[in-house]
Amino acid sequence: MMTTIIDGKAIAADLREKVAQAVSALKSTHDIQPALAVVLVGEDPASQVYVRNKGIATEKAGMKSIEHRLAADASEDDVVNLVRKLNAEEGVDGILVQLPLPSHISSSRVINEIDPDKDVDGLTEVNAGRLILGKDGLVPCTPQGSVIMAKTVRPDLTSLNAVVVGRSILVGKPLSMLLLAENCTVTMAHSRTADLAAVCREADILCAAVGIPRLIKGDWVKKGAIVIDVGINRVEEGGKSRLVGDVDFDSAKENASAITPVPGGVGPMTIACLLRNTVVAAARRRGVGEIDL
């Protein structure tokens, strides 16, 4: 079977270009430059790399990038006070608090301090509620990127059986809601699902977001299914460190009609969707209407 490898890098580049055009239009028509504030607590090397990449991508799209770094021993109140300050700043359109936070800080308390209309990660309780209720809000980036990628190979997902493996707040739950909104019949599977392989075999769209390297085997994939691999796992192999997904790519590719790779799949889409959310938030907050990307 000819299998499409869904090129997340290329789709993300395309979306980023559209965001840049929307930013440029906001500037010329309304003299608005959207701004994204990123809060990083502590010195985790991986988080530092992510934050740096987000800053670069934000500026490349023509938006303003603001970084706030707090020491690893900052208190929960320090972080909350910073978020409140950013909420109050007129020029700030998006606020992202890099996760994970140090263990002495409640990420749920901090996240829910973010003004929902600036919550470009879509992680506040208000935006989770809007998503479930089908109201306009800001949608979590990784699930949004996953659906965009599926729709590049199948623009109308209506009536397809979607199986989402993993029920995290960041990915599994919101992704299930988005697929439901696309008129899929959604099964929410997880680590306690009985006969996970059999459930996966029913999927026309199989989304893996469990964080277990290569859990999903090729013979769990129905012939012709679309496979969206959300996992980004670092594994040591042959003395080398590499990234693999939650899907066993080589065997799954044999059955899938389309599949996302890791790296180069959902990861790049996450950042592109963050930029998209930022320009969408800026236009709404500043009263110039909806941006359609």
Q: Which of 58, 65, 98, 255 binds ligand GUE (CB under 6 A)?
A: 98
Interface with ligand GUE, residue 270, by CB under 6 A: yes
Scanning 17-25, 131-139, 186-194, 246-254 for contacts with Mg ion by CB under 5 A, the matching segment is 186-194
Site string for ligand GUE, 177-216 (x = CB under 6 A): ----------------------------------------
Q: Which two tokens stand for residue 62?
A: 């023509």
Scanning 26-34, 87-95, 213-221, 259-267 for contacts with ligand GUE by CB under 6 A, the matching segment is 259-267
Q: Which of 24, 191, 197, 242 binds Mg ion (CB under 5 A)?
A: 191
Residues with Cβ < 8 Å from 283, sequence gap 6 or more?
22, 26, 32, 289, 290, 291
User: Which CB atom, from 184 or from 272, has the smaller least distance to ligand GUE?
Assistant: 272
Torsion sign (Cα): 221, 187, 144, 111:
negative
Gap between the Cα atoms of 264 and 288, Å rounded: 34
Dihedral of the alpha carbons of 94, 168, 134, 99, in degrees to the nearest 10: -10
Gap between the Cα atoms of 81 and 272, Å rounded: 28
Widest Cα–Cα separation across the chain:
56
Other beta carbons within 10 angstroms of residue 204's beta carbon come to: 19
Asked if residue 258 lies in contact with residue 6, where contact means CB atoms within 8 angstroms, the answer is yes
Interface with ligand GUE, residue 280, by CB under 6 A: no
CB of residue 210 to ligand GUE, shortest distance in Å = 15
What angle do helix axes 8-30 and 45-60 make, rounded to 10 degrees?
A: 50
Interface with ligand GUE, residue 267, by CB under 6 A: yes
Buried b (16+ CB within 10 A) or exposed e, 53-67: ebeebbeebbbbbbe
Scanning 152-160, 201-209, 267-275, 285-293 for contacts with ligand GUE by CB under 6 A, the matching segment is 267-275
Size of the site for ligand GUE (CB under 6 A): 16
Dihedral of the alpha carbons of 83, 89, 94, 100, in degrees to the nearest 10: -20
User: Which CB atom, from 164 or from 281, has the smaller least distance to Mg ion?
Assistant: 164
Scanning 54-62, 103-111, 187-195, 253-261 for contacts with Mg ion by CB under 5 A, the matching segment is 187-195
User: Which CB atom, from 25 or from 212, has the smaller least distance to Mg ion?
Assistant: 212
Gap between the Cα atoms of 142 and 122, Å rounded: 10
Catalytic sites, residue numbers: 54, 98, 121
Interface with Mg ion, residue 190, by CB under 5 A: yes
* Rg, the chain, Cα only: 19
From the list ligand GUE, Mg ion, none, partner contacted by residue 162 (C-beta under 5 to 8 A by kind) = none
Interface with ligand GUE, residue 99, by CB under 6 A: yes
In the bound state, the residue with its beta carbon closest to ligand GUE is 267
Interface with ligand GUE, residue 50, by CB under 6 A: yes
Residue numbers of the site for Mg ion (CB under 5 A)?
190-191
Residue numbers of the site for ligand GUE (CB under 6 A)?
50, 96-99, 121, 141, 232, 243, 262-264, 267-268, 270-271
